[in-house]
Amino acid sequence: MIDSHLFQELSQLDRADKLRIMQFLVIELAKEEGTLLKPNAQYPIWSPYNSYEAAGSLMKLLNDDKPEKPYA
């Protein structure tokens, strides 16, 4: 069980120190998780930028969904 004194000390820290403690705790939790997340590793994130095939598919869907007659 965590001593309430620790929570009191943490609440008095400035924002930067609280963020450092959060970073430390997240890294520690990741270590406990094993191979799910590795500290200091880089993980690719998908982005729509330069995804020309996806843009073409979306354009086709938009063109196919146009009404036959324009709205009056």
Instruction: Confirm whether 71 is domain-assigned.
Output: no
**What is the C-alpha to C-alpha distance for residues 67 and 69, in angstroms, rounded to an integer?**
6
Confidence (pLDDT) at 46: 80
Confidence (pLDDT) at 1: 63
Confidence (pLDDT) at 48: 76
Beta-carbon contacts of 31 under 8 Å, excluding residues fewer than 6 positions away, are 39
Instruction: Confirm whether 29 is domain-assigned.
Output: yes
- pTM (whole model) above 0.85: no
Instruction: Confirm whether 27 is domain-assigned.
Output: yes
Q: pLDDT tens, 15-66?
A: 999 999 999 999 888 788 776 767 788 888 888 788 888 888 989 999 888 7
Tallying the residues shown for the chain, one arrives at 72
Domain with 20, as residue range(s), is 4-64
Contact status, residue 54 vs residue 48, Cβ threshold 8 Å: yes
Instruction: Confirm whether 70 is domain-assigned.
Output: no
Which of the pair, 45 or 13, is modelled with greater confidence? 13
What total number of domains does the chain contain?
1
Confidence (pLDDT) at 23: 95
